[in-house]
Amino acid sequence: MKRGRVALAFALSLLAAAASPDRAGADRPVLEDGVSASDYNAAGIAINKALKSFGTAFASGDPAAAELLLDAEFGAGRPVPSIVQREADERHGVRIWRWEAGPSLGTDREAAQKLLVDWRARFASLEMTLFKLHFLDRLEADGTATARFRFELLGRTTEGEVRSERGMFRGRFARHEKSRELLTIELIEGETVVGPGDHFVETARARGIDFVDHADGRFLPPSQVLRDQAIRHAVGGVNAADVDGDGDDDLFLLSGEEPRLFINDGTGRFEDHTEAAGLTGLRHATAAIFGDLDEDGDRDLYVGFFYGRNRLFRNDGAGRFSDVTDESGLPPDDMTSALALADLDGDGHLDLYVGRFLDAKTRIPDMIHYSRNGAPNRLYLGNGDLTFRDVSEASGADDVGLTLGIAIADYDGDGDQDVYLANDFGRNLLLRNRGDATFDDVAKESGAMAVSAGMAASFGDYDGDGLLDLYVSSIRSNQRWFSQGVNIRFYILNIVQSARRPRLQEVFLDLRKHLGDRWEDVGNFMLGGNWLLRNRGDGTFEDVSDAANARPQGWYWSSGFIDVDNDGWLDLLAANGWITNPLTADL
């Protein structure tokens, strides 16, 4: 059978697999007979529009806000619950309440209006208000939709404390010619957090760190150099290390322009030593890492770039660096997105792992939900003298996912260091070390594949059982409702029928191999949020993300375990945010 026919036959087998009813797992919308994919998409867009209009009015305190959301026939005899907040925790002056549905306020529109008015009154002011469609569960032939929608509110109380609330409702939305309005509403979950808002205080400039990250001007509009325009924002990062040997941690800050090195004077104040350290002339550095690569007791530096050769610098012991890239044996890598150092072959020397993305000038991800067209990752074994040998291909660690995060640890307790890769647009890898810096990907069988927009990964024993667990940051997107099988199937079929078909056949095969009959759930996984994977101790992991409340809404980049309050238990810190359009609540 010719290659094109193979691809088409494979796509048809995917569509046939989608009809199988025996595929439990992720959410799937129910569409009544006669409801099309375009009907489904139009309903979701209309619900989001209605929620946005309501949110704007709610934030302003407009008493008529409910008029924008509640149908004239609201209630229909179904009770409207009050919201009862049960105090669940209080530590360090921060109080947390869990929401429950309380006694009925009534069964009509007036009862729902009271619920919304009382809710808004809990805030003296609002800094952020967001109401968004979470999932469109059911669409009926007459256009009535059952959907879950979430909310996030951040503001101040009358006492001046910071108050945040987030949670989820389920409602039935009636279809009108130009709008969607609620017929019923019920609480699914909610949480309130109130505190003084002063546990962390911004002191960077007061301490001498006058630094603002900037995108690389070469790639900003009107430049059309990049096909993947998002990469122009792929800069930034912080590295802490004692580079001058005085016992205090110094800071190396990356940017689309030049990075800067700030030296700690021992009192918590910093001075810019970039020029004195010999680290000027660098541009669009996307990753950096410090380590004693020549084993002389100080921290040397490796800097990765998206465009331009990666660079290796020797530290003279006093925080002055010299470029030794040419004599290191390291090839001229670029498209670098993440770096890690560890002794992977057990010889006592630090080895270098380089995670890479794709050439944004010539490529975009294969498919928005599943891509395998990245630049191959690199593994260089160190000799302990700032020279390295390339074992990338032989090691099995030369993955072509779009790597954004690397975590290294001995997760299985066999005495060697294993590697986890967080890959954007697809599946993640768990590379189990055979003990000699050659690897087998065991992500699928271990339960650690975590299909997602993987951006960062870290190991840590969060539950204190002596086993290393895994946290992977990703996206829990408002557009997850759109990325369902009703759209995924036709998206893939359209690709198969296009000129992209021959090139993407391998991606289709990889998708089916790793997700099996759940391939059409790839959108649910990819946009489903962060993953907290608990180590069972037998080489496998259990997904406890939702049970642990570790999967918040948002776009999460760098993340990691840290005991913030020094109570002996590891907490999680994750950086959240993204560039959006004028509809600022869209993401």
**307-338: b or e for each residue (b if 16 or more CB lie within 10 Å)?**
beebbbbbbeeebbbebbbeebebeebbbbbb
Residue 1 confidence (pLDDT): 40
Residue 12 confidence (pLDDT): 45
0.85 surpassed by pTM: yes
Helix or strand (DSSP H, E) at 5: helix 3-18
* Per-residue tokens: 479: 């557009």
Residue 581 confidence (pLDDT): 60
Closest CA to 185 of 170, 167, 166: 170
| Per-residue model confidence as pLDDT tens digits over 273-291 | 999 999 999 988 999 999 9
Residue 156 confidence (pLDDT): 96
Based on the number of CB atoms within 10 Å of its own CB, is 384 exposed (0-12), middle (13-18) or buried (19 or more)? middle
**Rounded CA gap, 306 and 404, in Å?**
12
Residue 375 confidence (pLDDT): 96
Please provide the DSSP assignment of 213-237 as one string: ----GGGSTT----SSGGGGG----
Which residues in the chain show pLDDT less than 50?
1-12, 15-25, 584-587
Residue 64 confidence (pLDDT): 83
| Per-residue model confidence as pLDDT tens digits over 248-262 | 999 999 998 899 999
Residue 159's CB is within 10 A of a number of other CB atoms, namely 9
- What 3-state class would DSSP assign to 328? coil
| Per-residue model confidence as pLDDT tens digits over 341-395 | 999 999 999 999 999 999 999 999 988 889 999 999 999 999 999 999 999 999 9
Residue 583 confidence (pLDDT): 55
